[in-house]
Amino acid sequence: MSDCIFCKIASGEINASIVYQDDEVVAFNDLNPQAPTHVLVIPRKHVSRVSELEEADAALAGRLILTANQIVRDLGLVEAGYRLVLNCNEGAGQSVWHVHLHLLGGRTFGWPPG
């Protein structure tokens, strides 16, 4: 999508602090981190929100989680615990309309989330 900021990060048109990328996904540091580690993992394919993922996207959806798990292992954050979050629609706090998995780590987290 030409006006999607995360599509532009995936294509390299806009700079981001990229921590991992391959043919399917890109992971980069959040501009406004909510934890010492706050990485966003996105599919290169434009999908506006998690509710729009379809059966054909099953492997891609799994890839988002597996990518986050690998980053967490690389950073040595598994033992301490980490949180993966997908916000869907404004009521849940979604502000960028391209699916993104938040990977948060490096601190303790409360429950329920705000």
Contact 99, 49 (CB under 8 A): yes
| Binding segment (CB under 6 A) for ligand AMP, from list 29-37, 44-52, 58-66, 71-79 | 29-37
Q: Which is nearer to ligand AMP, 31 or 56 (CB)?
A: 31
Q: Considering only residues 12, 62, 93, 113, which one is a binding residue for ligand AMP as defined by CB under 6 A?
A: 93
To the nearest whole angstrom, how small is the minimum distance from the Cβ of residue 104 to ligand AMP? 10
DSSP conformation class of 93: T
Distance CA 21, CA 98 (A): 16
100 carries an active-site annotation = yes
Q: Does 16 bind ligand AMP (CB under 6 A)?
A: yes
Residue 45 near residue 77 (C-beta atoms within 8 A): no
Phi, psi angles (nearest 5°) of residue 10? -65, -35
- Which residues of this chain interact with ligand AMP, rule CB under 6 A? 5, 16, 28, 30-32, 40, 87, 93-96
